[in-house]
């Protein structure tokens, strides 16, 4: 009997500039995860207070590396 593993669809993460507050990173992450963008933004603010350097670096990397959502 042959086992077939189903691969996930072509789900990709984008920056959602339609729902953006700054650059759309949190909105795009929320769309990818299927949650409300308020929760992702709250997590980003908490992370910014706890680990400001890493959070800022990760956010800037996401701004430059993630493609924009075109709708």
10-residue averages of pLDDT along the chain (71 residues): 54 85 90 93 95 94 86 65
For the chain, the domain total comes to 1
Q: Give the model's pLDDT for residue 5.
A: 46
Domain limits at 28?
17-65
* 53 occurs within a structural domain: yes
Q: Which of 33, 25, 21, 12 is nearest to 55 (CA)?
A: 25
* 7 occurs within a structural domain: no
* 9 occurs within a structural domain: no
* 4 occurs within a structural domain: no
Q: Give the model's pLDDT for residue 2.
A: 47
* 41 occurs within a structural domain: yes
Q: Give the model's pLDDT for residue 20.
A: 84
* 34 occurs within a structural domain: yes
* 35 occurs within a structural domain: yes
16-53 residues labelled b (16+ CB within 10 A) or e (exposed): beeebeebbbbbbbbbeeeeebeebbeebeeeeeeeee
Q: Give the model's pLDDT for residue 33.
A: 92
């Amino acid at each position: 009997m042959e086992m077939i593993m189903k691969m996930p669809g072509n789900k990709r993460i984008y920056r959602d500039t339609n729902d953006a507050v700054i650059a759309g990173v949190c909105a795009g992450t929320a769309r990818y995860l299927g949650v409300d963008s308020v929760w992702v933004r709250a997590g980003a603010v908490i992370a910014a207070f706890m680990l400001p350097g890493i959070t800022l670096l990760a956010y800037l990397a996401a701004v430059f590396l993630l493609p924009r959502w075109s709708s």
